[in-house]
Structure 1
């Protein structure tokens, strides 16, 4: 599948209706995410982003863990809606987990004390860029995705289940799969109210 950059940016949306099918092979999924990791910029070229891709039973396990964690904090009379939402993610083909390596960030803070307060912020910005690159890459390949944030609620369970290093901080989860329904229409504020150009 081939789309130009601008089309991919325009078409990328939060897709919640996804199936346990993929439009591409597992090898291709690994390839495009690896490419994104390698080429997404980071402050001081720190390359602090880390990614885990969960497929098949591992993908299902993540959302089972999330469901169990939410049962402990969501009132019983409200849990049905929460469970339905989590099931929609579990209905997907896989999940991308985005982490930031805190050891890299702490090392930079020690090396460049003048900027120490900025490194955690820059780390989050780098992760955000990586998430966006991966999201667009999945869109180009015909896959739908959404971005979720169940940290820190699931952090300990995720680290234990997949033996994640303690210094990796979970930032976001991106369930993906073959879209089964089109997203709803999106409204836009006038660009003129959000953009200023000075010559």
Structure 2
């Protein structure tokens, strides 16, 4: 059975790779002065071929050392505001514009708190993010495999915003609720939050 998901290619360079099952590709550059500076997100109809063998990763790192691959399975997403969750399409139907923003937040709740984490994201947090001006779409993923050395989390939230947006503003700050504080206290390790600027899509 096919497992839809994403490959995040984290590197200090942008280099095309040959992998199967690609539905879309977003080329991103860090907007936070951290390294690695580039993240190429490949939306895949099936991540299984990358799980059974690292030959594609080895071919990539033969010419691009210090590159890591983070492979995740699709959980759900939103393409409209409000509480409506969807399990398809896997790829946002409207590609993000050049210069727009993708915020990727990685979370690792304690294993006995995962159900509460998912309920919080699906019922409250994800809905509140849709109220931030400039919000466009969201996708959620679970970590499956890592090749190379990369800081990882068990779960990832992708939220797409216009270049001009309300991140840091009152609607964004309103997302910090009592439930949010409880989720933070139940984390097994600190969140990983990176802000990326979209350079191109295919």
Higher relative contact order (CA 8 A, sep 6+): 1
Structure with max Cα Rg: 1
Greater helix share, structure number:
1
Greater strand share, structure number:
2
Same fold (TM over 0.5): no
